[in-house]
Amino acid sequence: MFPAASLLTTLLLALSIAASPVEIRNSPITLPIARRLNTSGGSINILQHDQSRAAALKNVGENTLNRRTGSIAVTNDAVGYIAAVGVGSPATTYNLIVDTGSSNTWVGAGTAYVKTSTSVDTGEPVEVTYGSGSFSGTEYTDTVTLGSGLTITAQSIGVAATSTGFTGVDGIIGIGPLDLTEGTLTDEPDTTIPTVTDNLYSQGIISEIVVGISFEPTTTETDTNGELTFGGTDATKYTGDIAYTPLTTTYPASYYWGINESITYGTTTILSETAGIVDTGTTLILIATNAFSEYQSATGATLDRETGLLRITTTQYDALEDLNFNIGSNTYALTANAQIWPRALNTYLGGSANYIYLVVNSIGTPSGEGLDFINGYTFLERFYSVFDTTNSQVGFATTAYTDATTN
């Protein structure tokens, strides 16, 4: 049991951050997440970033040597999902990408690291190479502040001396599995680094190593449309019950938040049950090349040269059937509106305001390779998700936005 004062402090923190009260289950801590389109270099190429990320994710799992030399999944810097995190005492606030596909937390890409009385230089070199970016520098331990004053002590923080591929953000808060940190301390290739979630648990702040994530569809360039909950779930963000499925044992999806699923378009199976991952750092829904061909044929979509996305006509949109993700004994259906990119944001892709683009695309390899799909942000904005390390499972629930017409 937690002391009453500690529980009250956590409750007040959650209420002060969230728009509405949260379900108190194992003292959850909530942080808002803001979606941000990175348009500093003009229009964004989401497909290119997502496919680069997918290739890096598969490469890490398939090549142990790369993993031990610090090569992990690319962060998609075309679309970032940002949490404000304090580091140090007094705290400096850093805007960090929330990433379930990597596990190191680091700062310094934008705002420089500010040393305070709580900063401890471990002297350990740290390096992570992402698919289209990287950082290298020194490991520190420091106080990390989530929200209004709740702190984690002695959290490992990478302080970037150099970084590439990150614009408009300060770094990453990694909430992937612990093993993804192995090899990122370059002088200690067999060492793992406790994640923020691990330390919340070990320091008695939460009683389960669980992260709940809520996203909501948005049609604006920047929008605080998400919530990250440590240690529990927020019952105001989903409807019905959360259904859980065990983590996959299939390699290389098993390195990440990997699950087994099949996909049907209407009643037609386009991807037989196989392993893939759930990932906040991927924007689109990526599926094996053979499934993508089936989906394109079934929808009648054409490939748009400007964006790389599938494009459909208004008539084809009206005829779209549900895209069903069959996970365990449950089916999660993306409606026609959930399968398209927000039309109000078409020009940010370099596309036409008058076109309709689909958010399903190719992962770049055929099925049967152990990581055959990625359920990215465009899936997660329609379903509440729970990443449960304690019980080795991922959970999903419907939300008020599952069937909404927003795009």
Q: What are the catalytic residues?
A: 99, 279
Task: Say if CB 46 and CB 266 are below 8 A apart.
Answer: no
Closest of 305, 269, 289, 306 to residue 360, by C-alpha: 289
DSSP-assigned letter for residue 254: G
Q: Which residue has 């520098």 as its token pair?
A: 137
Residue type, 12: L
- Report residue 245 CA to chain centroid gap: 18
> Which element (helix H / strand E) includes 54?
helix 46-62
DSSP-assigned letter for residue 185: B
Contacts with 19 (C-beta within 8 Å, 6 or more apart), sequence order: none
Q: Which residues partner with 287 through β-bridges?
A: 362, 373
Q: Which residues of 105-132 are buried (b: 16+ CB within 10 A; e: fewer)?
A: bbbbbeeebeeeebbeeeebbbbbbbbb
- Report residue 152 CA to chain centroid gap: 22
Task: Say if CB 385 and CB 278 are below 8 A apart.
Answer: yes
- CA distance linking residue 284 with residue 273, whole number of Å: 20
Task: Say if CB 265 and CB 52 are below 8 A apart.
Answer: no
Q: Strand ranges (DSSP E) for 6-119?
A: 29-37, 79-87, 92-99, 106-107
Report how far apart, in Å, the C-alpha atoms of 98 and of each of 33, 279, 291 are.
8, 10, 29
Instruction: Please spell the DSSP secondary structure of 343-398, one letter per residue.
Output: GGGGGGGT--TT-EEBSEEE-SS-SSSS--EEE-HHHHTTEEEEEETTTTEEEEEE
Task: Say if CB 172 and CB 102 are below 8 A apart.
Answer: yes
